[in-house]
Structures are given as C-alpha cells and as structure tokens.
C-alpha cells in the first residue's frame, strides 16, 4: 500500500537485548517522526527527522535510544540494552512538509515491543 509501513509489527525480546524497528514512510515525504505509546496513554514524541538529519531528538528518553535515516527515506529506531519499561507501541509518522501542527501526519500501525 501507499501508507507508512512499519516492521516488525510485533517484537518480543529479553531484557538487555538490542532491538531495531524499521519505518518506511510515504514516498516523497521529507519529514519523519517517531512516537511511542504505552498502554492507556496517548502517543509521546521521540524524534523528528527532516531529510537525513535529526532536527529534534528531545523526546528520546536516554542514550539507549538512537534513530537514523541515512538516505532520507527509511528510518530505523535502535534500542540498546532493552528494559521492561521500554515495552510499548512504537509509532512512525511522515508528512510531505515539516509542521506537526500545520498539516497532517500520516501514522503507521506501529511496532509493538514487549521486553520480558
């Protein structure tokens, strides 16, 4: 389809392991966002890319979290030494132009991460 694609849809891992989550945005969208959503809560901002560069990473909770977008399209969210508190749905969104409040963000279905 033409929407935002996220893989894997589900990931179960053990505490301390390394995890990568992938986001394939809508073709041509220059802005890409990562959010995460815990059970019963609204999504929380993690990081925003404009092109290849991280324009705002103020939402990353600590240095175990890192994200890249090397060619300005696909992005990977990387979590090192996972902890049980990292369990959540990780949502990716893209938009054709920057502006989270001046346009529409297109969200994927998310990657559900469970850390045992």
Partner 1 sequence: LAKTTQPISMDSYEGQEVNITCSHNNIATNDYITWYQQFPSQGPRFIIQGYKTKVTNEVASLFIPADRKSSTLSLPRVSLSDTAVYYCLVGEGNTPLVFGKGTRLSVIA
Contacts to partner 1 by CB under 8 A = 4, 31, 35, 40-45, 48, 55-56, 58-59, 91, 93, 98-110
Taking the least distance from each CB to partner 1, the nearer of 19 and 31 is 31
Taking the least distance from each CB to partner 1, the nearer of 48 and 65 is 48
Work out how close the CB of 61 gets to partner 1 at its nearest, in angstroms, rounded to a whole number.
14
What tokens appear for 116 in the block?
């045992």
Contact 2, 96 (CB under 8 A): no
């Amino acid at each position: 389809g033409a929407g935002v694609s996220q893989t894997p849809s589900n990931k179960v891992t053990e505490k301390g392991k390394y995890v990568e989550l992938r986001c394939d945005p809508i073709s041509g969208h220059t802005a890409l966002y990562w959010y995460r959503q815990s059970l019963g809560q609204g999504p929380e901002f993690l990081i925003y890319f404009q092109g290849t560069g991280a324009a705002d990473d103020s939402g990353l909770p600590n240095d175990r979290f890192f994200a890249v977008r090397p060619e300005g399209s696909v992005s990977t969210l990387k979590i090192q030494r996972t902890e049980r508190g990292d369990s959540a749905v990780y949502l990716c969104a893209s938009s054709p132009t920057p502006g989270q409040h001046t346009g529409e963000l297109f969200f994927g279905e998310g990657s559900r991460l469970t850390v045992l």
